[in-house]
């Protein structure tokens, strides 16, 4: 209720200030009052026009018709001339008001008010003088009628502000009423009646003018509110239009982001799923067949690691461009992952059609391209699935194509493969192994076995190789070949490799503390571990926490890893500076580059077991193995031969000056607790052999 009263008072004050804008002037802080004063002043200028000239012209006629005033011609003429000048000034002010700025409006209006006051006063004075000197006759009646007419005419242009109207009435009729009263006092006939009529008329004009002003201001305020509302609506409409335009842009951008890959320009994953679902629905009705090709870029991580991610992006764009160039209008291509693409090929009815299409795509993709100044031949692994033979819905069809692609990735001899149900079984087995491995890591199911390495001459133990085993609660002991690849593909190799490194170093430190013969422990390192930038810190932290001397830790890596990764070489150099021994495992089966012995910071070479197995039946393999051993010795590296399973193997390798031997002839991989006993037995045998040789020499 109080708020309603306050609002009513504020509205009354606003109306009061708007009706008296000339008197209030700039003291009002309400914008509506300023707007009313501006509009009213402009209306005042437009409505005035040449109306002020009517009064001087009429008065001139009345003065000519009143010879009684000739005796007072000087003041009469002065007043008349002043009236004419004021009328001209008023017209000029009116023209300025019609086009004045807001700042100049109020001063001009007040000067205009002064001209109205002065002109009205002169008219009233001259009219009163005519009435005083002539009395009531036809001329004075005409003068009074003209006064009434001028007053009535003033309603059109002077009732725009209360004080302007009131001052006009006062200035015009006060001298007339005074002079009329003077004439009545001199005995003019009907003089007091005339004064009474004049008073009544002035009162009526004042009251009526007040109403006219109030109505004008109310209408002006309503018009201002309406214009403000229209302006607000127009502004809101423009703003809404702007928001609508922005919304359309965002929708288009969202559609583009959702439906197209921003890097390659081909379709996105969601777009491919939508197209595939649409294709399946149409094919169910028409009976048409089509193929889904699942592409994975080979060696993409190597490109990113060696040449940088920008080069990897360029490679993806190149492959996508080449794929898109071969697409027909009915086909579709999309990027499903970082380096995975999928193709939807319509009109494929037989397996031979799909293979022909795949070969065409592979031929185009494998054209050499320049990346960062290096000529690269892009390669992809492609899995093929046909609808509806290999899957009749989106999920099964994509899963079939992906399974076929994964089978290609696991077999380096393949580049593409058509899906078969056995691939799903293999994928399920990999998934099962992955899930069970995660559980095994958290529950401690992994074990380390250690296979001894013995010196070829003395037979004493010179080191052990740590071999990880999985003690599965249901399937028993699982060898590493069954789970290491899965660990590398799923990212579990880091956690597993860290566990192996910590466990092996801890065990080696315990053997050393218990007084066993000093020998090194060799740990196999995955290429993925070696490419991790934090691997150096990991090794340093493990050595520090276990207290193991760096020279007693030997890290085994495959030759292909350091041949294809520059970063791996840098990591090996830092490890070597740390004091850790580096061994090349399975030497001769990778790039078979003897030059790697010269360029890499390695301490030991481990020959692959295939050389030891074949050397008894092949003089060529025997010679090759001898050359490898001799070359390694020349370059300052010791040699460990794996796969020693017979006495003949041992004797041949001793004749080739091999440094260390490892294999089932000496021992299978043992539990950590059995290694000290094996070490003592080997030392006793070595001492026994030494004593026997000494006895023979004495004899």
Paired with 383 in beta bridges are 294, 417
Instruction: Identify which of 376, 428, 380 has the alpha carbon closest to the alpha carbon of residue 408.
Output: 380
pLDDT, residue 690, reads: 55
CATH architecture, range 433-690: Alpha-Beta Barrel (3.20)
Instruction: Copy the structure tokens of residue 684.
Output: 């006793």
Evaluate whether 106 touches 36 at the Cβ level (below 8 Å): no
The Cα 610–Cα 607 span in angstroms is 8
In Å, how far are 144, 145, 161, 621 from 149, measured between CA atoms? Answer: 8, 6, 20, 137
CB contact at 8 A, 263 and 341: no
Parallel, antiparallel or unpaired: strands 660-662 and 446-455: antiparallel
Mention every residue, 6+ apart, whose C-beta is less than 8 A from residue 574.
536
Token pair 């393949």 is found at: 414
Residue 176: the pLDDT is 86
Structure tokens at 183: 């004439």
DSSP class per residue in 181-226: HHHHHTT-TTHHHHHHHHHHHHHHHHHHHHHHHHHHHHHHHHHHHH
The answer to whether residues 400 and 424 touch, using CB atoms and an 8 Å cutoff, is yes
Please list, residue by residue across 536-546, b when 16 or more beta carbons sit within 10 angstroms of its beta carbon and e when fewer do.
bebbeebbeeb
pLDDT confidence of residue 691? 54
pLDDT of amino acid 696: 37
Given a contact cutoff of 8 angstroms between Cβ atoms, the answer to whether 636 and 658 are in contact is: no
Topology alike, domains 269-419 and 433-690: no
pLDDT number for residue 560? 64
CA distance 43 to 140: 34
* First and final C-alpha spacing in the chain: 132
140's enclosing H/E stretch is helix 138-154
- pLDDT tens per residue, range 86-123: 889 988 888 888 887 777 888 888 888 898 889 889 88
Average of per-residue pLDDT values in the chain: 84
CA distance linking residue 30 with residue 9, whole number of Å: 14
Domain limits of the chain? 12-228, 269-419, 433-690
Run of H or E including 594: none
d(CA 56, CA 86): 10
Q: Is the dihedral of CA 243, 249, 250, 252 positive or negative?
A: positive
Place domain 269-419 in its CATH homologous superfamily.
Answer: Reverse transcriptase/Diguanylate cyclase domain (3.30.70.270)
Q: Could you tell me if 71 and 139 are in contact, meaning their C-beta atoms sit under 8 angstroms apart?
A: no
Tell me, what's the pLDDT at 561?
64
Residue 71 has a pLDDT of 76
Residues of the chain with confidence (pLDDT) below 70: 1-8, 10-11, 26-30, 426, 559-566, 588-598, 688-699
pTM of the full predicted structure? 0.51
Which ranges constitute the DSSP H helices of 49-101? 54-64, 73-99
CA dist 145 and 282 (Å) reads 96
What tokens appear for 546 in the block? 């276990």
Angstrom distances, CA of residue 257 to CA of 62, 200, 243, 327, 482: 89, 83, 20, 22, 41
Gap between the Cα atoms of 520 and 454, Å rounded: 11
Exposure pattern of 272-298 as b/e (b: 16+ CB <10 Å)? Answer: bbbbbeebbeebeeeeebbbbbbbbbb
- Where is 344: in which H helix or E strand? strand 340-346
Q: What is the number of alpha carbons within 13 Å of residue 153 lying toward its C-beta? A: 16
* CA–CA distance, 471 with 491 (Å, rounded to integer): 20
Q: Which residues of 448-468 are buried (b: 16+ CB within 10 A; e: fewer)?
A: bbbbbbbbbeebbbbbbbbbb
SS3 296: strand
Residue 8's pLDDT is what?
A: 65
Instruction: List the one residue out of 690, 675, 647, 652 whose CA is nearest residue 461.
Output: 675
pLDDT the model gives residue 35:
78
Q: Which residues contact 523 (CB under 8 A, 6 or more apart)?
A: 466, 500, 501, 504, 553, 554, 555, 556
C-alpha 502/C-alpha 539 separation (Å) is: 9
User: Residue 183: what pLDDT?
Assistant: 81
Count the neighbouring beta carbons within 10 Å of the beta carbon of residue 355: 15
- Using CB atoms within 10 Å of the CB of residue 209, give its burial: 0 to 12 exposed, 13 to 18 middle, 19+ buried: buried
């Amino acid at each position: 209720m109080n708020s309603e009263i306050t609002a009513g008072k504020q509205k009354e004050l606003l109306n009061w200030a708007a009706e008296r804008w000339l008197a209030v002037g700039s003291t009002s802080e309400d914008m509506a009052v300023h707007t009313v004063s501006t509009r009213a002043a402009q209306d005042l200028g437009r409505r005035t026009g040449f109306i002020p000239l009517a009064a001087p012209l009429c008065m001139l006629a009345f003065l000519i018709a009143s010879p009684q005033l000739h005796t007072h011609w000087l003041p009469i003429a002065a007043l008349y001339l002043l009236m004419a000048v004021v009328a001209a000034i008023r017209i000029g002010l009116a023209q300025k008001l019609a086009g004045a700025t807001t700042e100049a409006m109020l001063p001009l209006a007040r000067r205009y008010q002064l001209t109205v006051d002065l002109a009205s006063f002169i008219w009233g004075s001259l009219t009163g003088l005519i009435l005083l000197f002539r009395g009531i006759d036809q001329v004075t009646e005409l003068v009074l009628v003209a006064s009434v007419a001028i007053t009535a005419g003033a309603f059109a242009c002077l009732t725009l502000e209360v004080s302007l109207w009131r001052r006009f009435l006062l200035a015009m009729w006060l001298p007339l009423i005074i002079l009329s009263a003077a004439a009545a006092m001199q005995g003019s006939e009907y003089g007091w009646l005339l004064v009474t009529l004049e008073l009544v008329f002035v009162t009526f004009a004042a009251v009526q003018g007040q109403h006219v002003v109030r109505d004008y201001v109310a209408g002006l305020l309503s018009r201002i509110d309406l214009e403000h509302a229209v302006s607000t609506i127009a502004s809101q409409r423009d703003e809404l239009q702007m928001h609508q335009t922005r919304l359309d842009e965002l929708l288009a951008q969202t559609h583009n982001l959702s439906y197209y890959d921003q890097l390659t320009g081909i379709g996105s994953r969601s777009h491919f799923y939508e197209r595939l679902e649409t294709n399946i629905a149409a094919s169910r009705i028409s009976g048409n067949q089509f193929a889904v090709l699942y592409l994975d870029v080979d060696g993409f991580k190597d490109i990113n690691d060696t040449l940088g991610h920008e080069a990897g992006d360029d490679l993806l764009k190149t492959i996508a461009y080449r794929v898109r160039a071969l697409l027909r209008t009915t086909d579709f291509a999309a990027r499903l992952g970082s380096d995975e693409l999928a193709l939807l090929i319509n009109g494929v009815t037989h397996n031979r059609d799909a293979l022909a299409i795949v070969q065409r795509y592979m031929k185009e993709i494998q054209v050499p391209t320049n990346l960062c100044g290096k000529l690269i031949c892009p390669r992809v692994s492609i899995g093929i699935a046909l609808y509806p033979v290999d899957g009749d819905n989106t999920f099964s069809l994509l899963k079939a194509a992906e399974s076929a692609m994964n089978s290609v990735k696991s077999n380096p001899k393949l580049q593409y493969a058509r899906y078969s149900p056995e691939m799903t079984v293999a994928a399920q087995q990999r998934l099962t192994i992955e899930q069970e491995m995660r559980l095994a890591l958290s529950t401690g199911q992994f074990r380390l076995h250690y296979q001894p390495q013995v010196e070829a001459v003395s037979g004493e133990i010179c080191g052990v190789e740590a071999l990880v085993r999985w003690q599965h609660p249901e399937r028993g002991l699982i060898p590493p070949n069954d789970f290491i690849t899965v660990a590398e593909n799923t990212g579990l190799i880091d956690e597993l490799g860290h566990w192996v490194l910590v466990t092996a170093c801890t065990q080696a430190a315990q053997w050393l503390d218990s007084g066993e013969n000093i020998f090194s422990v060799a740990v196999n390192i995955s290429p993925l571990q070696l490419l991790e930038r934090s691997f150096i810190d990991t090794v340093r932290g493990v050595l520090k926490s276990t207290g193991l001397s760096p020279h007693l830790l030997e890290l085994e890596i495959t030759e292909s890893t350091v041949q294809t990764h520059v970063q791996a070489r840098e990591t090996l150099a830092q490890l070597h500076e740390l004091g850790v021994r580096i061994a090349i495992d399975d030497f001769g089966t990778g790039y078979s580059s003897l030059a790697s012995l010269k360029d890499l910071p390695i301490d030991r070479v481990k020959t692959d077991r295939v050389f030891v197995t074949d050397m008894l039946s092949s003089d060529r393999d025997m010679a090759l193995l001898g050359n490898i051993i001799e070359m390694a010795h020349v370059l300052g590296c010791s040699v460990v031969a794996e796969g020693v399973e017979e006495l003949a193997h041992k004797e041949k390798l001793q004749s080739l000056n091999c440094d260390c031997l490892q294999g089932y002839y000496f021992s299978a991989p043992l539990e950590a607790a059995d290694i000290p006993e094996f070490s003592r037995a080997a030392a006793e045998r070595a001492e026994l052999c030494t004593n026997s040789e000494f006895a023979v020499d004495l004899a």
